[in-house]
Amino acid sequence: MTLTTPSSSAPARIATKRTVLMCRPNYFTVVYRINPWMDPQLPTDTALAVSQWEVLYRTYLDLGFDVHLIDPIQGLPDMVYAANGGFVIDNIAYGASFTYPERQPEGPAYMDWFREAGFDVRLPENVNEGEGDFLLVGNRILAGTGFRSASNSHEEIASIYNREVVTLNLVNPSFYHLDTAIAVLDDTNIAYLESAFDEESLVKLRALFPDAILATEEDAAVLGLNSYSDGYNVVIASRAKDFERQLRERGYNPIGVDLSELLLGGGGVKCCTLELRR
């Protein structure tokens, strides 16, 4: 883990201990294609995926996170992308209902884990893919639609959590989940890729976050925005160099990790990380 020195003129950032759920990629491979990143013709290395994932896992432990693990299930190679398994606020776990049949068994598996861990589980009535498309920023929920989560799931989470939900329309199939196009940095700040959204959504983002970091296409192409922050430390793709620079200038501490093998399945740091909010 590499620590960097923030700009002296940047505001002070405060790290807050996080509790997260992860799933070791013991069965990771690419045998079907449900997003533009996946190609079953390309070889995958499960051992390498596990090794890279272990670096992320140890990074979180070094940062003092409380890390819980769900057991991987053979035949569910995408279960490593824990963020898609649900959305958890105020001890309420809203379960996932996946778009593609290949991933649909993950929803019940994650809901079983939530129940056993003592969360109030809400069965989804609408198609949604958890924190892949729902991001909490302060008391506001940013909600993505266009490729995976149905827009009526936005109404559902608004009623469950009694919070403002802002619908954002994704238009680039390479950024099919909201967490590939937006990084939440703290309760008031985000980074995002402008070309991932339609104009109506950009108007909302510019009004809500006028000082947001705007990511480059190059950094987004290595899922640099698929990152996870504790308010000060931001774990990102090690190849997202301009994003790293911008974070440092804003007073954050970027920590680069290499998840290139898991990128073959269309996931990065945030995809592997589901936040548990009691």
Catalytic residues: 177, 271
Listed in order, strand segments (DSSP E) in 133-227 are: 134-137, 140-145, 165-169, 182-184, 190-192, 213-214
- DSSP string of 107-121, one letter each residue: HHHHHHHHHHTT-EE
Q: Measured between alpha carbons, how far is 86 from 114 in angstroms, rounded to an integer?
A: 9
Closest residue by Cα to residue 253 from 277, 219, 229, 278: 229
Kindly list the distances between the CA atom of residue 135 and the CA atoms of 74, 95, 131, 149, 168, in Å, as whole numbers in the listed order: 29, 15, 6, 13, 11
